[in-house]
Amino acid sequence: MKKKPKLSKNVCKDVVLCKTTNRVVSNRTSDLLLEQSVAFSKSFRRIPFFMRGRYKGASQFYVISISRTQYSKARRVLDLLEERDFNRLFLNYI
């Protein structure tokens, strides 16, 4: 009887790399990650009406998620962003 192959404990566990309320910054970040060959997923979430004051009136924020195994590579790639774009990102630290 064959044993099932063991998977790493980090397989299929995505973590949030960063969030932003600016669509242009989100697109620039995703373009940079694509250029550097970092796999990611991008989605957006609506901000409830009464919490929009916290996000300066924005109605949605963009979420970029990556695999836990590629987190350190993605953080190095984010250092290549321009400073004005980097300052608009809400980074998630692991």
pLDDT at 1: 61
Does 3 map to a domain? no
pLDDT at 93: 82
pLDDT at 55: 83
Does 71 map to a domain? yes
| Domain tally, the chain | 1
| CATH number for the domain harbouring residue 57 | 3.30.70
Q: In this structure, what are the phi and psi dihedrals at residue 74, rounded to the nearest 5 degrees?
A: -65, -35
Tokens found for residue 1: 């009887």
- What is the number of residues in the chain? 94
pLDDT at 92: 85
pLDDT at 81: 93
Q: In this structure, what are the phi and psi dihedrals at residue 33, rounded to the nearest 5 degrees?
A: -65, -35
Does 20 map to a domain? yes
User: Residue 66's domain spans which residues?
Assistant: 14-91
* Sheet architecture: strand order including 14-20: 40-46, 60-67, 14-20, 90-91
Does 36 map to a domain? yes
Does 6 map to a domain? no
Q: What is the pLDDT along the chain (94 residues), one digit of tens a residue?
A: 676 666 556 566 789 999 999 999 999 999 999 999 999 999 999 999 998 898 888 999 899 999 888 999 999 999 999 999 999 998 888 7
Tell me, yes or no, if the pTM score tops 0.85.
no
